[in-house]
Amino acid sequence: MRPTPDWLVAEPHQDVDLGVLKSGKEAQINLIERQGADGRRCLVARKRYLPREVKQKGALEALGVQHASTFRNDVQYREGRQFRKTRDRRAVERMSTYGKRLLQDRWTGHEHDVMLRLWECGVTVPYPLSYGDDVFDLQYIGDDRQAAPQLFAARLHPDELRAAFDQLISGLQALAAAGVAHGDLSAYNLLWWDETLWFIDFPQAVDIAANPQGLNFLHADVVNICQWFGRGGIAVDAEVVFADLLGLL
């Protein structure tokens, strides 16, 4: 069992919102300063999922193609995930209003649970702290001056790129050993900080064994990120990487 991080501050704590770190189409990340009862402080990233209200029939389409496909993908991603009640499972499969609501509610908890599982398996992911209805608190990667850059913007020297690639491979191996496919792996969902590669953004992650599309997601992830490293000058055969990962499942 991996010991809990030593930077966790004692409860009860007080939070001060320092403002928006990143704002995008799916989520907004705020930087939170947390003061613990023990007088220690730490920084926390607070991810707030942007609302995707689907209240009535037709509302999904009214939101536009992009959102509609997000929801459809959602079902694809979540196949094999457990909705304990048959009624719930059917509602999700039929994409009834109730089913869509269920999917939305599951979003934050799922990302938290996947990241905790991965963190416990030793994968380099920010430590997940807690989640609520539409927010998810996690370890902030960066310092007081700047947040860790996404890999695509990190301007790595060739030897750093090589180190990042080696860490990518060991991270993918750890993910595969944990039975998880990221599902949206790219140089946007990897952070580079202090010579370390961090995997982030897991709401769409799937259990490879339980999800009929699991291997397809894993394959797409590997091809996508290997292409990025390939363009940077790392000679890599994505199919070989994929085949090696299959051996770890």
Shortest distance, CB of residue 189 to Mg ion, whole angstroms?
Answer: 5
Are the CB atoms for 219 and 240 separated by under 8 Å? no
Residue nearest to ligand ATP (CB): 24
Nearer to ligand ATP, 137 or 242 (CB): 137
Chain centre distance of CA 149:
16
Three-state DSSP at 196 gives: strand
Both tokens of 155, joined, read: 């301007």
Question: What does DSSP assign to residue 81?
Answer: S
**CA 123 – CA 232 distance, rounded (Å):** 24
Chain centre distance of CA 140:
14
Nearer to Mg ion, 30 or 189 (CB): 189
Three-state DSSP at 103 gives: helix
Counts of helices then strands in the chain (DSSP H, E): 7, 9
Nearer to ligand ATP, 123 or 200 (CB): 200
Shortest distance, CB of residue 243 to ligand ATP, whole angstroms?
Answer: 28
Choose which of 54, 114, 151, 201 interacts with ligand ATP (CB under 6 A).
201
152 lines the binding site for ligand ATP (CB under 6 A): no
150 lines the binding site for ligand ATP (CB under 6 A): yes
For the window 160-199, what string marks contact with ligand ATP as x by the rule CB under 6 A? ----------------------------xx----------
Of ligand ATP, Mg ion, none, which one sits near residue 47, judging by CB under 5 to 8 A according to partner kind? ligand ATP
118 lines the binding site for ligand ATP (CB under 6 A): no
**CA 61 – CA 67 distance, rounded (Å):** 8
Both tokens of 126, joined, read: 């920010």
Give me the residues that bind Mg ion (CB under 5 A), please.
189, 201
Rg for the chain (alpha carbons), in Å? 19
Our CA angle for 120, 71, 141, nearest 5°, is 35
**CA 187 – CA 199 distance, rounded (Å):** 10
Residue nearest to Mg ion (CB): 201
Of Mg ion, ligand ATP, none, which one sits near residue 138, judging by CB under 5 to 8 A according to partner kind? ligand ATP
32 lines the binding site for ligand ATP (CB under 6 A): no
Nearer to ligand ATP, 99 or 126 (CB): 126
Instruction: Establish how many alpha carbons lie within 13 A of residue 199's alpha carbon, considering only the half-sphere containing its beta carbon.
Output: 31
State the number of binding residues for ligand ATP (CB under 6 A).
Answer: 22
51 lines the binding site for ligand ATP (CB under 6 A): no
Shortest distance, CB of residue 20 to ligand ATP, whole angstroms?
Answer: 10
**What is the largest distance, in Å, between two alpha-carbon atoms of the chain?**
54
The residues of the shown chain that bind ligand ATP, judged by CB under 6 A, are 21-22, 24-27, 29, 45, 47, 126, 138-142, 147-148, 150, 188-189, 200-201
